[in-house]
Chain A
Amino acid sequence: MKRLAAPDRKVCVACGVCMKACPKNAISIYKGCYALVEEATCVGCGLCAKVCPAGCIVIHERSEAK
């Protein structure tokens, strides 16, 4: 996979909208604090970024995403 979702933990409100939208179930809400993407599972489809009401998910190219 070339792309990966990266939620901004400082902005994330932990609403879980992205988690519900992810077709791969790659997202969980870590201890009620922020969205956590399982890197190995994420296929970079961008559906989560599209629905995030806070607009805090960026889809990176994997090479840039460390």
Chain B
Amino acid sequence: MKQKHWYDYLWIWTILFFALGFFNILFAWLGMNDFLVPLVIAIVGGNKAFCNRYCGRGQLFAVCGKCSLKKQAPTWIAAKWFRYGFLVFFLSMFGNMIFQTYLVAAGAANLKEAIKLLWMFRVPWGWTYTAGTVADWIAQFSFGFYSLMLTSTMIGFIVNFLFKPRTWCSFCPMGTMTQILCKIKAKGVHDHV
């Protein structure tokens, strides 16, 4: 058995994050950590320490690895076209979510107290928010961001069950983005032989 470190338990944080958002949607803002920290580590450190050590979601998939058929995923799942394509798709969905937030902030749209799963299914989520607690756009962002986090985790669990544990990591947009940043940073440095 390998020695366990404190950061091997960060999967608990991921469960906590989703649980908190079930009671108060404003906790969704805490998820920005999982968005910014990996980027900062990749840009400043030039490594994937986030994926390799600190990502609670990746760990949660590994922890749930017992409930998996452990089949090898088809090769296209880790192919560049699919990974980059999924990244572009994900970023445009992220952009759309920011745009919705802007519309609410500008008064051009009303706050929708619901989350959207898989970009299609609207689920009422109103009990997690009391209207007027904060500015509407802050709440709108919470619902939107939580939707993205929950959607990606759902997709992750589906592939986790069908294929090997952490198959999500082979096309995770954050993982792809940080690897691209690291590759850009490592360029010019001699390749290891």
Chain B residues with CB under 8 Å of A20's CB are 2, 62
Q: Are A54 and B78 closer than 8 Å at their CB atoms?
A: yes
Contacts of A53 in B (CB 8 A): 73, 78, 163-170
> With the chains together, A52 CA to B53 CA distance in Å?
16
Write the nearest CB–CB distance from B43 to chain A, whole angstroms: 11
- CB within 8 Å of A: which of B159-193? 163-171, 175-176, 178-179, 181-183, 185-186, 189, 192
Q: Which residue on chain A has the smallest CB distance to residue B58? A: A15
Chain B 60-85, CB-CB to A under 8 Å as 1, else 0, gives 00100000000011010111000100
Residues of A within 8 A of B170 (CB): 13, 15, 53-54
Q: Does A48 lie at the interface of the complex (its beta carbon under 8 Å from any beta carbon of B)?
A: no
| Contact code string B73-109 (vs A, CB < 8 Å = 1, else 0) | 1010111000100000000000000000000000000
Contact A32 B46 (CB under 8 A): yes
> Taking A13-B170, A17-B169 as contacts, is the C-beta distance between A32 and B179 under 8 angstroms?
yes
**A interface residues, tally (CB under 8 Å):** 20
Chain B residue numbers with a CB within 8 Å of A1 are: none
A14/B165 contact (C-beta < 8 A), A31-B46, A32-B46, A36-B192 known: no
Interface of B is mostly: helix
**Contact A55 B175, beta carbon cutoff 8 Å:** no
A26 at the interface (CB under 8 A from B): no
Which residues in chain B, 8-57, are within 8 Å of chain A measured between CB atoms?
Answer: 42, 46-49, 51-53
**CB neighbours of A33 from chain B (8 A):** 179, 182-183, 186
* A29→B170 CA distance, assembly (Å): 15
CA distance A21 to B115 in the complex (A): 37
23 inter-chain pairs at a CB distance below 8 angstroms, sorted by A residue, are: A13-B169, A13-B170, A16-B48, A17-B169, A20-B2, A20-B62, A29-B48, A29-B52, A31-B46, A32-B42, A32-B46, A32-B49, A32-B178, A32-B181, A32-B185, A33-B179, A33-B183, A53-B163, A53-B166, A53-B167, A54-B78, A55-B73, A55-B78
In addition to A14-B48, A32-B179, A53-B170, 13 A-B residue pairs with Cβ atoms within 8 Å of each other are A13-B169, A13-B175, A14-B179, A15-B52, A15-B58, A17-B165, A19-B52, A29-B47, A31-B189, A32-B42, A53-B73, A53-B164, A55-B72
